[in-house]
Amino acid sequence: MLVRRGRRGRADQDWRRKSAVAELVLAVCAGAAACGGDKASGGSEPEVEAAAADRPIESVRTGGAVMLSGEWPLTGATFEGGGPQHPVYVVKMDNTASSTPQIGLSSADMVVEQLVEGGLTRLAVFYYSDVPDQVGPVRSLRASDIGIVKPTAAVLVASGGAGRTIARIADAEVATSVEGAAGFYRADDRSAPYDLFMSLGDLADNPQDGWQAPAESYLAFGDQSDFEGTIAVDKITATFSAAHSTEWKQTDDGWTRPESFAEEGDDFMADNVLLLKVKVGDAGYQDPAGNPVPETKFYGRGEAVLVHGGKALQATWSKESAGSALTLQNTDGDEVTVPAGRTWIELVPAEDGAVVLSS
C-alpha cells in the first residue's frame, strides 16, 4: 500500500529500548464505560470548565516562548530555527476495524486514546513538527476533548459533533475545523462514516486567523538518562472496557501496537507509553444507536504509569483544570520528567478499566 510521508521533517528521535521481565497489574480508575453520540436524553449537560486558567493565551504568529527555549512542545526534542507557521492540529481519528487503514499516524508527535460510546476508543492525534498530506478517517468530537486539547491552544479537527458538545467546545474557546471547512474530502473507496479525510498539509499552509502557538510543553520533558523506572516490562495491555483493549509490544524501534489499524509502514512508534487512571462520567446524552455517551474528566489527579524502554515507573498525575498542563510526581512527591520523544497517552477508565504490564 502507498505510504503517505510527512511534508515537514521531524527531529531525529531514535531511542533504543532494553528487554525486561516482570508483571504488574493495576486496577484502573473510575466512571461510566460507554461514550457517545448525538441523541439527547433526559440527563443534563455538565457545565463547561470556565476557570480563568482555561482561557487561551494571546494569539501569536511565531513558535512562541516554547520554541525560543529550544524544545518542541509535544516531544521535548531539541529545536532549532523558526517555529512552524501554524498551530498544533489535533485530529479525531476512528480507532475501530472499520477505519482500516488509518492514514497519517507515523507523522504524529503525540497521541491520546480516549473512551467513546459502546466501550470503544477514539484517537486524538497531535501534529505540529511534522504535518502529513492526508489524515483520517476523521470522526466527531467529544466534550472529553476540552481537557485533551486546551493545553496546546490547538485546532481540533473533527467531522462535527452533537449540538450540545459543539456548544461546550465553543464555550471552552477551543478552536475547531469541522466538515465543510477547506481540506475535508470523502474517499470513494470507503463507506460512511469512515470515508472522511483531511488534507492536513493544505490546512497548515493556510491557518485560521488568530491562531496560537503552544504556550508551554504538554509534558515536563527530560533526558532518558533521568528516567528512574524499575519495573521490567515488554508488553502492556490497557483495557478500556469489555469491548476494547489496546496492547503494546516492545521492539527495537519502540513500542508498537500489534493489533493496530494503521496503514502498513505508517503506524505511530512510541518512545513512551503513559497510562493514566481517569474518572469517567456521563455526558448526558446518547448516540443514535442509544448508547450513553461517556465523558473523560481529564483534570484532577490519579494514578499513572510511565513506560520507557523496558522499564515502567509508578507515579501520580495531576492537572488543575481542563486547560492546565499535565504534571507527574513519583511516590516521594518529586517531579517526574518524561524522556524526550514521542508519547502515546492512554486515558484508561478507573472503573471497569485495567492496566497490565508484563515481561
Domain annotation covers residue 16: no
Give 205's pLDDT tier (boundaries 50, 70, 90). Answer: very high
Domain annotation covers residue 13: no
Residue 296 structural domain = 24-69+83-358
Domain annotation covers residue 91: yes
In this predicted structure, which of 51-60, 212-221, 240-249, 343-352 has the lowest mean pLDDT? Answer: 51-60
Residue range 135-163: average pLDDT? Answer: 96
> Which CATH number do you get for residue 334?
3.50.90.10
Domain annotation covers residue 75: no
Q: What is the pTM of this model?
A: 0.83
Phi, psi at 314, each rounded to 5°: -80, 140
Domain annotation covers residue 74: no
Domain annotation covers residue 18: no
302 vs 140: CA distance, rounded Å = 27
Per the model's pLDDT, the better-predicted residue between 45 and 85 turns out to be 85
Alpha helices, H only, the chain: 64-68, 145-149, 163-171, 200-205
Query: Rg of the chain's alpha carbons, rounded to an integer?
Result: 19
Sign of CA dihedral 220, 222, 224, 226: negative
Domain annotation covers residue 5: no
Residue range 300-320: average pLDDT? Answer: 96
Q: How many domains does the chain contain in total?
A: 1
Residue 83's contacts (CB-CB under 8 Å, 6 or more residues apart) are 62, 63, 64, 67, 213
Residue 48: CB atoms within 10 A of its CB come to 16
Phi, psi at 200, each rounded to 5°: -65, -35
86 vs 273: CA distance, rounded Å = 27
Domain annotation covers residue 194: yes
Q: What is the mean pLDDT of the chain?
A: 83
Q: Which three cell numbers stand for residue 188?
A: 470513494
**Which pLDDT does position 291 carry in this prediction?**
85
Phi, psi at 235, each rounded to 5°: -150, 140
177 vs 109: CA distance, rounded Å = 19
Contact 28, 305 (CB under 8 A): no
Percentage of residues in the chain having pLDDT higher than 70: 81
134 pLDDT higher than 80: yes
Give 336's pLDDT tier (boundaries 50, 70, 90). Answer: very high
Residue whose C-alpha cell reads 482500516 in the numeric block: 100
206 vs 170: CA distance, rounded Å = 21
